[in-house]
Amino acid sequence: MAPLSKAGAALTALREDLSGEVFTPQDPGYDGARTVFNAMIDRKPAVIAQCESTADVVTAVRFARDLDLKVAVRGGGHSVAGMSLNDGGLVVDLRRMHEVTVHPAARAVHIEGGATMSHLDRACQPYDLATTGGRASTTGVGGFVLGGGTGWLDRKFGLAVDNLLGVDLVTADGELLHVTAEDHPELFWGLHGGGGNFGVATSLTLRLHELPAMSIAFVLYLPERGPEVVRAFRDLIEAGPPEASGAALYVTGPPEDFVPPHLVGLLLAGALLTYAGPEEEMRELARPLLAIPHESEIVTAIPYADLQSMIDDPPGMRNYWSAEYLTGIPDEFVNAFCARAESMPVPTGTQHLVFPQGGAIASGPADYPVPYRDAPWAVHPFGIWEDEADDERCRQWVKDVRADVEPWSTGAVYLNFIGDEGGDRVVSGLGSESMRRLGELKRKYDPDNVFRFNHNIRPL
């Protein structure tokens, strides 16, 4: 950290130069500006630069370099490990940069680095175009895509990184690079899973696909039906087309109109079948799920952008998440998965999910640092709760799920679904073969590890 006199003068200059806004602990609005999705995260950056343009981002990065401040980059603020904040450093906050420009003829969309899924999906919906997005509308596109990106459309259109056409990236030197398969191809490769390790993505360009219809069946059951439901869901997905996706799950019965009042707040099993096509086709596929005695159902066509905001998790809750990618889900797995549901913390927002991969995920480019691509299924326990007193119970339950499914784990993991689980898990998330190549890239573009608030790749 530079002497205070220099810091004071530089801060004044930063406030003048930025078209966005600067927050320090003395400024009103500072606490709001450092609030992220996971209520367990309470970090206090020295400076938050809310950027409004690429020029602002360059200014903020250079300011941090001059003062030797650590830099965190904030997109949607959804990292459960709170990686978009630091203590005592600078935060490049991109939330004011959320412009989305659709190019229908080119089947492409240009997205500013702080846009959320909602900005993206709502902009594309009028054209009946879409790309693989996350399952919540408030997730940031930047962190989602650069980390890999999975969602209801990935079996049909591939992972989000498989649709990445270009990135405008401000590097640790404050230089702006336009990164594509032709320009800086090695860096382009590294951005397919390497997250925010190489710089600030001020914009991303993604490929779009036609999506004229979307439909879903969401069915809730008494928990004792769980094994039957998971097996039926598995069988219909494994025999079904890549348009079909979704999850088999356990949840606390939500206080919604479609849930009978006596089941609100209780453990329920469920199946969500999503289908990138018309309702009639989806109904045919959903028959085995609807044939199992159930407590409630929603079977309907739905615009993709509406589906994307249907299961938004509430902000302000405490979160601990993990995931394992699986070689398959035979009946023994189903039994273990369902047995663990019995101790799922209820009533909380905690969810216990097993969801399919396969389709276009499996057939996508083998070379990218996303080593979980080949796994046909993934289990994703996510603890969400309100009361601090439940911290230990909820965290332990998530860890227990991981331990239960270990016999079926491929060992690879999608880093965006986990918190900070240590360096070995980063290797599992990027692939041991890719680590050396990524480490060399890191040495070239960020030798001082300025961008370290991520699933960190050390410069070789």
Q: How many residues bind ligand FAD (CB under 6 A)?
A: 34
* Region of 122-130, 140-148, 175-183, 329-337 interacting with ligand FAD (CB under 6 A): 140-148
By C-alpha distance, which of 99, 125, 129, 132 is closest to 114?
A: 99
Residue tagged 């191809």 (tokens): 185
Half-sphere exposure of 49 (CA within 13 A, CB side): 33
Question: Does 158 contact ligand FAD by CB under 6 A?
Answer: no
Binding mask 93-122 toward ligand FAD (x if CB under 6 A, else -) reads: -x------------------x---------
DSSP code of residue 152: T
CA dist., res. 135 & res. 118, Å (int):
10
CA dist., res. 353 & res. 325, Å (int):
12
Question: Does 250 contact ligand FAD by CB under 6 A?
Answer: no
- Smallest gap from residue 76 Cβ to ligand FAD (A): 2
DSSP code of residue 389: G
Based on CB atoms, which residue is closest to ligand FAD, 116 or 125?
116
Based on CB atoms, which residue is closest to ligand FAD, 143 or 345?
143
Alpha helix (H) residue ranges in 99-164: 117-124, 141-147, 154-157
Pick one of 140, 358, 359, 381: the residue that binds ligand FAD (CB under 6 A). 140
* Region of 133-141, 237-245, 259-267, 325-333 interacting with ligand FAD (CB under 6 A): 133-141
Question: Does 350 contact ligand FAD by CB under 6 A?
Answer: no
Q: Scanning residues 48 to 67, which ones bind ligand FAD (CB under 6 A)?
A: none
Question: Does 381 contact ligand FAD by CB under 6 A?
Answer: no
Q: How many residues does the chain have?
A: 460
Pick one of 89, 151, 193, 277: the residue that binds ligand FAD (CB under 6 A). 151
Tokens of 369: 């640092």
CB 235 within 8 Å of CB 154: no
Pick one of 416, 418, 434, 445: the residue that binds ligand FAD (CB under 6 A). 416
Query: What's the one-letter identity of residue 83?
Result: M
Q: 3-class SS at 132?
A: coil
By C-alpha distance, which of 281, 262, 261, 265 is closest to 273?
A: 281
- Smallest gap from residue 334 Cβ to ligand FAD (A): 23
Interacting residue ranges for ligand FAD, rule: CB under 6 A: 37, 72-79, 83-84, 94, 113, 134-136, 139-140, 142-144, 146-147, 149-151, 195-196, 200-201, 313, 416, 453-454
